[in-house]
Amino acid sequence: MIRIFYTIKKMLLFRTEMQILITVLAALDAVRAQSLFLVLSNAQDSSLQRICLLFSPLMKPFSGFSVIIFLFLALISVFYLQSNSDGPWKTPFRPSDLLPLLPLSVSWPILRSLYSAVDLLPTFVGAVSSPETKLQWKGACFYENTAWMEFHNKSKSPYGGGTLHLKVTNAHSWTCMDLYVFATPYRVTWDYYLLSREHTLEFDEWEGEEEYEHVKHHGVSIFLMQSGMLGTLRALWDVFPLFTNTGWGENSNIAFLQKHMGAKFVERPKPWLSSINVDDIHSGDFLTLSKIRGRWGGFETLEKWVTGAYAGHTAVCLKDSEGKLWVAESGHENDKGEDVIAILPWEEWWDFELNKDDSNPQIALLPLHPDVRAKLNSTAAWEYARSMDGKPYGYHNMIFSWIDTPRDNYPPPIDAHLVASGMIMWSKIQPAYAANMWNEALNKRIQTEGLDLPDIIVEAEKLDLSFDKLLAIPEEDDWIYSDGKSTSCVAFILEMYKSAGLFDPFATSIQVNEFTIKDAYSLNFFENNYSRLPEWCNKEDTVKLPFCQIKGRYRMELPGYNTMQPYPHMNENCPSLPPDYDRPSFC
């Protein structure tokens, strides 16, 4: 008992060390914390050694019951010591700061209810460009914050550098901290703040006239990690399993979509596979897939969330003159590991989905309406598909089908500032990836060639075009990229429909690269008469869907299915905010 009180008294003398330790313990359970101390005790850094020395009396094996006793005594001790000090009493910590110290069976359910993967995203609080214009906001830890920018030339360079001043006060507890990300078109950095005082972030030297002019006129963007250290670490813990090929990953993807989109994931009666008769499948019939685990499962989950689509991949059926069934898709992985457009025999494609696709896809067949099928020019459809066979997947313009408006396509806390900062970060880490994903497409929007992202932003500003408006400029189907036409999985199918006459008489005024997967299955091209669906379609299911689910444990949902008639400039200016994803008519 004396040892515990003695240690807590020392905690009050070393506030910074206490904050660091509580933050670490907030991310780890007590057992992992003991292992961490073994590592830190050998550290060369004096602060880390002080932390280990400070808490070494407590870092011995203890039971969950003793943890609770310790926390109870700690609270009593802090209240006692604080009551004998001058000034108003201030809460030393929030209950959530200490939750991870409790046994996992107690703390983990509570933590899961407090945080989610979305908490990993920073929130844009503003930009600072001069001492005269000060930015003020409320943080997650410090409730009163002020920032301003001061230019200097300590480096004696042509354009000098600058100091970002950030004054933080009125922390809600002793143990909290605020995490920030700072960005210009030329750099992204971060910092965290534990103490109530004025902090500075140095920019020793601007990377050139362009960065100097941007900061001077538009400022350094500031982003706050709203969930603090604990929430951010917890969010990382939620994001990681989305991309793992495990049952944990599958359950995490399902839970994310249930929470953020309202998806139901109702289990279907067995068998979860249809006994398909390929004679009932025709050219133009649409295949939609929803992957829920592994690398593509995680990617599709995030894509569904931002677009409102209840599927993440598509393919299309084609029959040749001899009646043989094929599947054409953009996004097939070839022997070199490249994602390309491919035309595969049905048997090969279906065997892969049954036996080799580890993402556990839920798959539905959407048969064309007989009148639409009669309108489809099969020869033109085959010609288009063959002309694209082997070409790369449409990474160039993939994100632009999602972004139609300056601000109404971003689920909070995402916005164009965050998208720009994410692009800048990836441009620094993987320049070739950035060039493939957005640089070429953004160059086309301002009629330039070869500019990298920072120069694109600067050039757009010269045209009085903010980045949010730049992203919202519609993609044009006839744009040719360095490796040819660029079509995502859904754009490839809709381009084929367009070539085959299904969008007439509006084909010349519709850009199918502006369509998301949700936009595609919302087209009124599909069968609307249950009696005309194949006999094997949903045969074992008690719920008769308007389409044929041919694989999957969970019943697929396609809100808005088969409801929208084509019109000029379709889907060029549509919002997509969760959870309702409402859109006006003819957007």
CB atoms within 10 A of CB 158: 11
Among 531, 501, 451, which residue's Cα sits nearest to residue 185? 451
CB atoms within 10 A of CB 303: 21
Decide if pLDDT at 378 tops 90. Answer: yes
Q: Please, what is the end-to-end C-alpha distance for the chain in angstroms?
A: 69
Q: Is 414 left (phi over 0), alpha (psi -120 to 50) or beta?
A: beta
pLDDT attached to residue 26: 40
By the 10 Å C-beta count (0-12 exposed, 13-18 middle, 19+ buried), 290 is classed as buried
Q: Is residue 139 a contact partner of residue 224, using CB atoms and an 8 Å limit?
A: yes
Banded pLDDT at 429 (limits 50, 70, 90): low
Which token pair is 485? Answer: 């036409």
CB atoms within 10 A of CB 287: 23
**Percent of all residues in the chain with a pLDDT value above 90, rounded to a whole number:** 55
Banded pLDDT at 227 (limits 50, 70, 90): low
**Range of lowest pLDDT (62-71, 241-250, 447-456):** 62-71
Tokens 């685990």 sit on residue = 293
Residue 33 vs residue 375, higher pLDDT? 375
In angstroms, the CA 193 to CA 48 distance is: 18
Select, from the ranges 42-46, 107-111, 578-582, the one with the highest average predicted confidence (pLDDT): 578-582
Stretch 358-385: mean pLDDT: 96
Stretch 308-334: mean pLDDT: 96
Banded pLDDT at 124 (limits 50, 70, 90): confident
pLDDT attached to residue 478: 94
Residue 524 vs residue 2, higher pLDDT? 524
Condensed to tens digits (0 to 9), the pLDDT of residues 65-114 reads 444 444 444 544 444 444 444 444 444 445 555 444 445 454 445 444 44
pLDDT attached to residue 21: 40
Q: Is residue 551 a contact partner of residue 288, using CB atoms and an 8 Å limit?
A: no
200 phi, psi to nearest 5 deg: -135, 150
**Range of lowest pLDDT (92-96, 483-487, 545-549):** 92-96
Condensed to tens digits (0 to 9), the pLDDT of residues 282-311 reads 999 999 999 999 989 999 999 999 999 999
pLDDT attached to residue 140: 85
Q: What is the mean pLDDT of the chain?
A: 81
Stretch 144-165: mean pLDDT: 93
pLDDT attached to residue 309: 96
Stretch 385-392: mean pLDDT: 96
Alpha carbon distances (Å) from 253 to 68, 123, 231, 335, 338 = 33, 23, 19, 28, 25
Among 26, 227, 247, 25, which residue's Cα sits nearest to residue 117? 227
Which token pair is 32? Answer: 């992992």
Stretch 353-368: mean pLDDT: 95
**Range of lowest pLDDT (70-79, 170-179, 437-446, 496-505):** 70-79
Query: Which amino acid type is present at position 408?
Result: D
Q: Is residue 341 a contact partner of residue 276, using CB atoms and an 8 Å limit?
A: no
pLDDT attached to residue 60: 42
The class (CATH top level) of 247-393+529-551 is: alpha beta
Q: Indicate the pairing of strand 220-224 with strand 123-128.
A: antiparallel
Residue 34 vs residue 558, higher pLDDT? 558
- Domain ranges within the chain, ordered by starting residue: 2-114, 118-231, 247-393+529-551, 405-472
Decide if pLDDT at 35 tops 60. Answer: no
In angstroms, the CA 533 to CA 144 distance is: 62
**Range of lowest pLDDT (45-59, 153-167, 239-253, 385-399):** 45-59
**Range of lowest pLDDT (65-69, 364-368, 445-449):** 65-69
Decide if pLDDT at 53 tops 70. Answer: no
Distance of CA 11 to the CA centre of its chain: 39
Stretch 422-439: mean pLDDT: 77
Dmax (CA) for the chain in angstroms is 92
pLDDT attached to residue 413: 77
Q: Is residue 572 a contact partner of residue 299, using CB atoms and an 8 Å limit?
A: no
Decide if pLDDT at 61 tops 80. Answer: no
Decide if pLDDT at 28 tops 50. Answer: no
